[in-house]
Structure 1
Amino acid sequence: MERRKFLGLAAATGAAAGGAFTAAGCGTGTGTQSAALKVVAADYGEPGRGDSSQGYWDSLVRSFHNRHPGIAVDVEVYGWKDVDRKVAAMVAAGRPPDIAQIGAYADFAAKGLLYRAGELLSIPVQADFLPPLAEAGEVRRVQYGMPFVASTRLLFYNRTLFARAGLDPDAPPRTWDQLARAAERLKAKGVKIPYGLPLGPEEAPAEALMWMLSGGGAYTDKVGNYTIDAAANIKTFNWLRDRLVRPKLTNHDPGGTDRKELFDAFARGEVGMLNGHPTLMKQVRRSGVKYGTAVPPGADGPSGSTLGVADWVMAFKENGRREEAGRFLDFLFGERNHYGFADRYDLLPVTTSANDRMREGREHKPMRRFQDELMNAEFYPVGKVSWAKVSADVKRSIGKAVAPDTGPVGVLGAIQRRAEARDSEARAR
């Protein structure tokens, strides 16, 4: 793998970045160079709270320009509903950005549009990525996707509702059967949603994979073949339908319910249990709900692994800006800059240095369990070129697998057949 020479000024010496997450299409540029380095990024802010990610990028660009006055940078921030589509349209029009921070990279890498990480980053910066995340950024054993931030999932439960239902708030469920029994107790005490099951389009791939993992399954096997309709996954979805959905221990119509709706309901004290990521902690702290977290229950004990999710940075070759993009990316992933972003938004750092710094901070003690899970987390098969289309199919279809009047065999089997066809198409390119 080709590696760019180490650039001392750009590596791990960034000024601390302020941060924020929710705008759309705002840009900032500095410098005198006529062709600014074009960056498109996703917004992590909450609508209406004035915490757009644009503020983070503005601060980062100013700090970068102080050290590299010859490199102009222009950043546009879009909401998550638009950013992937915007970048895809730019690529289709032959005008890709120099750098994109979005949700997927494999299709662009397979088409030969991206620089390899080793062509961009200095050796110390590339080596600082947490190994599971670096590996998740590979296509055919070559890293093209650079992780930006990550999250894992844990079981969140309402301690007040547990106590009201006669459940021990210090002993959350460890098995599926314990979870079902706890949900029954919560329902008997009038809890509106004993277990929140978001299998609607927003969260379906994540919630489905968490349950697959807890039942010993996954989307793929160890060599990357799709296993969506494997016996373990069918057993898992049968259990969900028969033990949670049919007895009305979940939200109405899980296949039509998105994560945000259930997160909001949990923050209002209306949900007994659900799977959540670190940003839910901030939302719940604002509402004053007393909550606990635990490793998600498994079929026979705590789940052996949980879901890890990463967002990705990539650099396009079209404009030939490898050197400038590499300098900027080294600066972006410097400890202070990267930690500043993860810290502000209650997300997990993707580098060893920033991860260690977060672990040392007493104020981040609630994050440590998420950090522990990250090292053993299972990620989406994002290195598969077909995954983007398969994921879209999962979003549309997998909620039907737990509908009271349908069966997982037919639903998962249909998704599996379409996944195999898309995988064959991708390999034939």
Structure 2
Amino acid sequence: MGRTGLRTAVVQRRVTSLIAVASALGVTAALGGCGSSAGSGDVTLKLVAADYGDSKANSSQKYWDKLTQAYEAKHPGVDVQVSVYSWNDVDAKVKAMVDAGDPPDLAQVGAYADYAAAGELYRAGDVLSIDTQADFVSQLSAAGEINRTQYGMPFASSTRLLFYNKTLFADAGLTPPESWSDLASDAAALKAKGVKYPYALPLGPEEAQAETLMWLLSGGDGYTDTVGSYSIDSPQNVDTFTWLKEELVDKGLTGPVAPAKLNRADAFAAFTRGEVGMLNGHPTLMKAAAAKGVKFGMVPMPGAKGRSKATMGVADWMMAFKKNGHKDQIGDFLDYVYSDENVLEFSHEYDLLPVTTSASEAMALDKDDADLVDFLGELPNAELYPVGQTSWAAVSADIKQRIGEAVSPDGKPGAVLGQLQRAAAAAQNAG
């Protein structure tokens, strides 16, 4: 079955159920959104987007320029202006525009909850066609919801796997770990062979919230409980960080740089130099490691007593602002953005996972995408950051700055996690 056929089949199954529910509630028209027509008259849509490239040569501006030119050729009454900013600047740019009373029509950034809570966003169902909204991967759709209403539209996603250096493992006579005890044993053997970073544990301020969540999930818990309240200092989470400190860090198995000072980018760079035995990584590390001639393998994150039941997923978001109107034009443009062709082109360019079911199934069947299939297979079990919480930005920033203390020489995991929990609960209650 071709990619178009896949999309049609998947969407049709979901659309049928949605229409049935909608008809029962008498709201079929509302569920349909207003994305089926671009409307009449000349309209300018402004989109602010993040840059996923690492140089001018592969800047996301090129992706958007190609996409918008093709769209405008078929919609002469709509002009789409896209401004692309680095991840260091894009959130601040959008906030400044909103604060000035001149928000863009669309923004593609890392979070949506604050704007949704302030009533500034269209609901996804207000702008997207039923086909498009129904085709989002279910875990990503759910993460885009506040009070069971979707505002955040997933735009890009990824999962994490444990990378290991095949050469270093072969030299030490090792097999990839399946449990924490395996990982610790492998790390000890790598250290005995003189490997600089047996297991790289980046708990520095760049992306400590990611490494933390991967370990919390592998220990059987996470950042929140089943009702969405923060549970950072749960017994399972304290046990996880106690094990990390006692079995890896205190035994010198995480390398010469203290975890609190080791950033993800530095850990990835060390892996591409052949200095790291194991670390958690996302798809972009594959290309970087291969370019440096590093032979690597990838396995699911080990759990406390076997394979972890959940892995970490990450999504970035598209959101539509109400201020300027343009609902019909926004919806029509987004339906084009989320076509299989465009979703797959973006995913291929930046080694990311598709956010729609039909494009995911097409990727899984494409032999050219074989290196991404393992990551794709983890998506159904993925747990994302609690991005629907307006408090998450503050909580994430706090974790980045403080979690490394939990595994420091004098650190007390329970105390540090308890402090983070109290701050998180206060932020959640304030919101």
* TM-score between the two structures when normalised by the length of structure 1: 0.91
Match of 1:190 among 175, 187, 194: 194
The AA in structure 2 aligned to 1:248 is: G
Taking the aligned partners of 1:412 and 1:127, their CA distance within structure 2 comes to 38
Alignment of 1:111-126 (within 5 A): 111-126=118-133
Alignment of 1:287-366 (within 5 A): 287-366=292-371
Please report how far the alpha carbon of residue 4 of structure 1 lies from its aligned counterpart in structure 2 after TM superposition: 4.5
Q: Is the 8 A contact 1:105 1:145 kept in 2?
A: yes
Please report how far the alpha carbon of residue 73 of structure 1 lies from its aligned counterpart in structure 2 after TM superposition: 0.8
Taking the aligned partners of 2:98 and 2:77, their CA distance within structure 1 comes to 26
1:46 alignment partner in structure 2: 54
1:99 alignment partner in structure 2: 106
1:234 alignment partner in structure 2: 238
Taking the aligned partners of 2:235 and 2:275, their CA distance within structure 1 comes to 34
Q: Is the 8 A contact 1:9 1:67 kept in 2?
A: no
1:419 alignment partner in structure 2: 424
Alignment of 1:15-414 (within 5 A): 33=42, 36-47=44-55, 50-167=57-174, 171-251=175-255, 252-414=257-419
Q: Is the 8 A contact 2:221 2:237 kept in 1?
A: yes
Taking the aligned partners of 2:254 and 2:101, their CA distance within structure 1 comes to 47
Structure 2 SS opposite 1:149 = strand
The AA in structure 2 aligned to 1:359 is: A
* TM-score between the two structures when normalised by the length of structure 2: 0.90
The AA in structure 1 aligned to 2:131 is: P
Please report how far the alpha carbon of residue 6 of structure 1 lies from its aligned counterpart in structure 2 after TM superposition: 6.7
How many pairs are equivalent? 400
Q: Is the 8 A contact 2:44 2:79 kept in 1?
A: yes
Encode CA deviations 1:172-206: one digit per residue, 9 max, x unaligned. 00111110111111111111111011111222111
Taking the aligned partners of 1:392 and 1:93, their CA distance within structure 2 comes to 25
Q: Is the 8 A contact 1:194 1:273 kept in 2?
A: yes
Q: Is the 8 A contact 1:3 1:120 kept in 2?
A: no
Please report how far the alpha carbon of residue 166 of structure 1 lies from its aligned counterpart in structure 2 after TM superposition: 2.0
The AA in structure 1 aligned to 2:378 is: E
Deviates more, 1:414-423 or 1:90-99: 90-99
2:10 alignment partner in structure 1: none
Taking the aligned partners of 1:217 and 1:85, their CA distance within structure 2 comes to 32
Encode CA deviations 1:323-354: one digit per residue, 9 max, x unaligned. 11111111100110111100111100000111
Identity of aligned residues (%): 56
Higher-helix-fraction structure? 2
Q: Which runs of structure 1 show a deviation greater than 6 angstroms over 4 or more consecutive aligned residues? A: none
2:20 alignment partner in structure 1: none
Q: Is the 8 A contact 1:45 1:51 kept in 2?
A: yes
The AA in structure 2 aligned to 1:50 is: A
Structure 2 SS opposite 1:40 = strand
Encode CA deviations 1:8-32: one digit per residue, 9 max, x unaligned. 688xxxxxxxxxxxxxxxxxxxxx9
2:11 alignment partner in structure 1: none
Please report how far the alpha carbon of residue 36 of structure 1 lies from its aligned counterpart in structure 2 after TM superposition: 2.1
| Aligned-pair Cα RMSD in Å | 1.4
The AA in structure 2 aligned to 1:303 is: S
